[in-house]
Amino acid sequence: MLLIQILLLIFILFAVSAIIIRFKEKQLTILQTISWLAFWLAVAIAIILPQTTTLLAKFLGVARGTDVVVYLSIIFLFYAIFRIQIKLEKIERDITKIVQDKALNEKNLDKEK
């Protein structure tokens, strides 16, 4: 096994332990936990058995296994950015609503005085 493979597997163990800790602290749902564990398992398999990416590439009609990894990574990153953007917009709406409610409450309190 190459040094880079060992280092990447150590990083995966760190990532998996962080996922498990966040699940125990109820920061992740069971579905999120299973999804992340499946993702890191797939990465570990690709690191231990690099020929699996070549098989996946042939199945998908792509020339090289590395290309498949790059394509899937880009798709994953765009999806993650999309999800983050949706959450940020919701947070902005929630903050706006809270500020409006607070301003109205303060205005009503001033009128009562």
Segment 40-69 mean pLDDT: 94
When divided into structural domains, the chain yields a total of: 2
pLDDT tens, 16-50? Answer: 999 999 999 999 999 999 999 999 999 999 999 99
Please, which residues have CB within 8 angstroms of residue 64's CB and are 6 or more apart in sequence? 54, 57
| 33 lies in some domain | yes
Expressed as residue numbers, the domain containing 28 is 1-49
- 80 within some domain: yes
Q: State the average pLDDT for the chain.
A: 94
Q: Is residue 56 part of a domain?
A: no
Question: What per-residue confidence (pLDDT) applies to 1?
Answer: 78
DSSP structure class, residue 63: S
- What distance in Å separates the CA atoms of residue 104 and residue 108, rounded to the nearest whole number? 6
How many angstroms separate the Cα of 6 from the Cα of each of 11, 40, 66, 100? 9, 15, 19, 53
Note whether residue 57 is domain-resident. Answer: no
Residue 76 covered by a domain: yes
